[in-house]
């Protein structure tokens, strides 16, 4: 179990994540991204 937790922490580290969206509503994308990866949501252009 500890090995699995360590692997998950490494693979799902926030600094290693990226996100992509298709569509014209950037506010909706930001709102969906915020609870999952707040740092990525903040990095989106205004």
Predicted confidence (pLDDT) per residue in 1-46, tens digit: 899 999 999 998 878 888 888 998 999 999 999 998 898 899 888 7
d(CA 19, CA 21): 7
**What predicted TM-score, i.e. pTM, was given to this entire model?**
0.62
Number of domains in the chain: 1
Distance of alpha carbon 31 from the chain centroid: 11
Quote the domain boundaries for residue 33: 2-43
What is the reported pLDDT for 5?
95
- The reported pLDDT for the residue numbered 6 is 94
25 neighbors 18 (Cβ within 8 angstroms): no
* Residue 19 CB partners (closer than 8 Å, separation 6+): 33, 37, 40
């Amino acid at each position: 179990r500890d090995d699995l937790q360590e692997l998950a922490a490494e693979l799902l580290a926030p600094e290693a994540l990226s996100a992509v969206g298709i569509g014209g509503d950037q506010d909706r994308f930001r709102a969906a991204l915020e609870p999952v990866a707040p740092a990525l949501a903040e990095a989106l252009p205004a």
